[in-house]
Chains A and B, each alone.
Chain A
Amino acid sequence: MKVYIRSSACISPQKTFRDEDFLTDAIEYTGTRLTVIEPDYKEFVDPKMLRRMSRVIKMGVATAQECLNNANNVMPGAIITGTAYGCLEDTVTFLTRIIEQDEEMLPPTSFIQSTHNTVAAQIALMLQCHGYNNTFVHKGISFESALLDAMMLLNEREADNILVGGTDEMTDTSFTVLTRLGLYRRWPVSNLDLYSTRSKGSIGGEGAAFFVLTDKPSPDNLAELTAIRTIYKPTTLKDIEKRVVTLLAENALTIDDIDLVITGKSGDLRHDEIYEELDISLFKNSALANYKHLCGEYPTSSSFALWLASNILKNDSVPAITMERGDIKTPPKKILVYNHYQKIYHSLMLISAI
C-alpha cells in the first residue's frame, strides 16, 4: 500500500497560507522569536467563537479547513493532531488566575480550552465529523506520532482521507521560560542570517501544518509519503547513519537516489554539529536544504518541513531561500527530511514524487 499526500495547508511566520508564490519572498525578522502570519479567520470560524479561541486553536482550525478545501472539501475519515505544548495560552491564563485570584471566581473557558485535544475536537465539531479523533503530545515527535497513526489506519483500511496536522503556539510565557532554559539566542539575529552566525541557541518558532492522507492514487496528489521513522536518543553518528541507510534500503533506495536532503538545522551550534557531521559523511554528495530559518525552532516544526517537501515535489522547484548546497536535478523525485529536536528525538521522512 502507498500513502499519498492529497493536500496540504500551512500557517507559518512566512507567507505560506494561500500564497501563490512558493517562498519566493521570504520575510526577514530580527529578534529571537518568529510569530505566525495570521489570516482573517472570519472565513473559517464563527466570529462569536473566534473571540474565545486562543491563537493555536484558530490557526489549527483554519489550517485544517483550508487543507480540506484543497482536497475538494472532503469529509475526513479521521482527524489526528500532534502538539507538544497543547493550548499553552489558555493553560497559562487559567494557572495565573488560580494563583492571582486565590482559586476564587474563576471563569471556566480557559480551562475548557486548555486540554490538548481542543484543536482536533474543534475541527470535528466544525465538520460534524464523528470519525476517529486522536491527539499525540510527545515532545519532538508529536507530529510524527500522528503521521504514524494515520499511516497505520490507512494500512488497516479503517479510514481514508485522514486529516493529520502539527500545531504549536509560542506564547510570551513559553518564550520567556524556554529562553531561560537556553533554547534561544541571547542576542537578536536576523532569521536569514541564522546559519551564518554561529552561536548557542536557536530562534523560537510556531505554526500549524495540515495534510490529507489517502491510499488512492490521483494526479492531483502532491506527493507520496513513502516512509517515516523516529529514533530516540541515538548513541552515535554511526547509529543515525545506519538508521538512514536502513530506511532507504527498505524502500530499495540508497542515498544517491535522494535528490534533496532537508535537514532541521536550527542555528544552535550544539545541535547543528550532528547535521554538519552528516553533511560531510553520509550526505557528502547530497543537495542540502534547511527550513528552520523560515519557521523557527519548535517541537512540531517537522510538519512545516513536510509541507515544504511535498510542495517542492508538486511544484517541481526548490525555493532558493531554502538551499544550502548542491544542484537539484529537475524535477526532484525523492526528498529525505532529517530533523532532530534537542538531540533527543530524531525523525526521518521519505517523500517521493507521484
Chain B
Amino acid sequence: MSSTAYIAGVGVISAIGNNVPEHLAAFEREEASMGEITMLDTIYHGKIPVAEVKLKNNELANMTGMPPDISRTTLLSLVAAQEALTDAGIPDLNKLRTGFVSANTVGGMDKSEDFFIDFIKDNSKGKLKNVYDHECGSVTEIVAEKLGLKDYMTTISTACSSSANAIFYGARLIKNDVLDVVVAGGTDALTKFTLNGFNTLMILDPEFCKPFDEHRQGLNLGEGAGYVVLVSDKVAKTLNKAPYCKLSGYNNSNDAYHQTASSPDGTGSYLAMKGALEKSGLRPSDIDYINLHGTGTPNNDSAEGTAITRVFDPKYPPVSSTKSFTGHTLGASGGVEAVFSVLAIKNGLIYPNLRFEIRMTELPFQPETKFRKGQNITHVMSNSFGFGGNCTSLIFSKI
C-alpha cells in the first residue's frame, strides 16, 4: 500500500494550446482563445463565442495515428494522455500494473449527432459506425488500448466535476494497492448537444466570459483534455526526474440542493474544500493559490465565492479562473485545471483571471489579474463543481 500518489507527468490540450509548453506561453501572453464557432454545424455561428481547440479532426488524427472519423472527444483525450505518459517517462512501464481512469460527459456524442440526422427520418438508416462508440466508456477504452494501459480502466461521469473525481479515484487505486501507475483526467469536445443544452439554460455569455466579476453574464463553452500520471511511492523512486508534486488532499461532497443550480451558501463547495484541507492536514492559510471552478455564471461564482469566504476568511490566497482562457471544458475541466495546478507548483506561477474589472459586491476578495512567475507555490487547491450538486476539490503539494 502506497501512502502517497505522486504526479509524474502532465498533458493538456485546449483552445490555448496543443501541449504543455503552448499553454505556458499563452498564459504568459495573457491571451484568451474564444472566438466564433468554426467546427460545428449550428445556427449559433457568430452568436455565441466558444473556445475551440485549433486543430481539425484530421489534424488530431494525424498527430495520434488514429482514423479521422472517430469522436473528437477520443482524439483530444489521446493527444493529452499520450503527452502525459511520455512526460512521465516511467522506466519499465510494461512490468507495472497500469490503469487509465478517464472522464467525459457525453461520450461520442459528436458522431451520434451525425447518426441521428438520418436515423430519425428512417430507423433503418444512419451509419452504425457513428453510433457504435456513443457510450462514455468507449472513449476511454479506445485511448487505453492505444496507450497499452489495460490492467484496469474505467470512466467517471459526474458532469463538470468528472475529471477531478477521476484523478482522485486514480490516486485511491494506487493507495489501495490495486495499481502502480494511473493516467487520470478527462476529455470533452464541443458538441451541438452541449452547446444547445447550456444555451437552453441561458447561462452562456454572448461576450467573452468574466469569471468572478460583478457584471459576469455566464460561461463560454470550451473543449479539451487534461491528464496527470499518478504513481506510487515505489514507482516514484525509479523515475529519471523528480515527480512534480503529490496529490495531498481531495474531497467529493454533494450540494444536495438542485439538479443544476448551486445553493446560495455554497454548501457542496464548502464541504469539498474543507474536506480536502482535512485530508491533506493543511490549514486554509497554507494554500498559496486556488484555481477556481469560476465558470462565470452568476450562480456558480456567487456560491463558490461564498464558500471560499466561509473557508478562508479573513486571509485569502491568490485565486483565479483559468476558464477565462480556455472556456469551460466541462468533463475535461478538472483534468485540464489539475495540469495547470501542477504547473503552478512546478514553475512558481499564478495565472491571471482575464477581463476582470469589478469585484463582486458580496465578496471581500477578488481574483488575480496579472500573470506572475517566480512565486513560491507549495500548495494549490483546484475546484471542480458540476450539475447534480457534484462538488470536488483537489489539493496538490510540493514534495
Contacts and interface: CB of A to CB of B under 8 A. Distances in A.
Interface of A: 79, 84-86, 91, 94-96, 98-100, 102-104, 106-108, 111-118, 120-122, 124-125, 127-139, 141-142, 145, 148-149, 152, 155-156, 173, 176-177, 180-181, 230, 232-233
Given A112-B260, A130-B256, A130-B268, A121 B389 contact: yes
B166 to A, nearest CB: 10
5 contacts: A99-B117, A117-B387, A118-B259, A139-B135, A173-B119
Contacts of A115: 105, 157, 159, 387-388
A95 B157 contact: no
Contacts of A136: 154-157
A155 B178 CA distance: 12
Interface in B186-221: 192-193, 196-197, 199-201
B144 to A, nearest CB: 8
Interface string B358-390: 000000000000000000000000000011111
B153 A121 contact: no
Contacts of A149: 169
Nearest to B123: A176
Contacts of A113: 259
A137 B132 contact: no
A204 B168 CA distance: 35
Nearest to A141: B154
Interface residues of B, number: 63
Contacts of A152: 172-173, 176, 178
Interface in B149-163: 150-159
Contacts of A112: 197, 201, 259-260, 387
A86 B136 contact: yes
Which 4 pairs from chain A and chain B are nearest by CB? A121-B388, A111-B197, A139-B137, A108-B200
A103 B358 CA distance: 34
Contacts of A138: 136-137, 140-141, 153-155
B271 interface: yes
B176 A155 contact: yes
A100 B196 CA distance: 13
Contact of B196 (A106, A121, A130): A106
Interface-central residue, B128, B151, B158, B192, by most chain A CB under 10 Å: B158
Contacts of B268: 130
A137 B128 contact: no
Given A95-B193, A133-B252, 10 more contacts: A94-B197, A96-B120, A98-B192, A117-B388, A129-B256, A132-B254, A137-B107, A152-B173, A156-B172, A232-B152
A139 B102 CA distance: 13
Contacts of A91: 193
Nearest to A78: B252
Nearest to A149: B169
B120 A99 contact: yes
Interface-central residue, A84, A112, A134, A149, by most chain B CB under 10 Å: A134
A149 B112 CA distance: 30
A180 B136 contact: no
A135 B157 contact: yes
A140 to B, nearest CB: 8
Nearest to A102: B43
Contacts of B154: 136, 138, 141, 145
Given A98-B192, A118-B259, A125-B259, A134 B156 contact: yes
Interface in B124-155: 124, 128, 131-132, 135-138, 140-141, 150-155
Contacts of B169: 134, 149
Contact of A133 (B120, B137, B390): B390
A117 B257 CA distance: 15
A179 to B, nearest CB: 10
B253 interface: yes
Nearest to A113: B259
B248 interface: no
B147 to A, nearest CB: 13
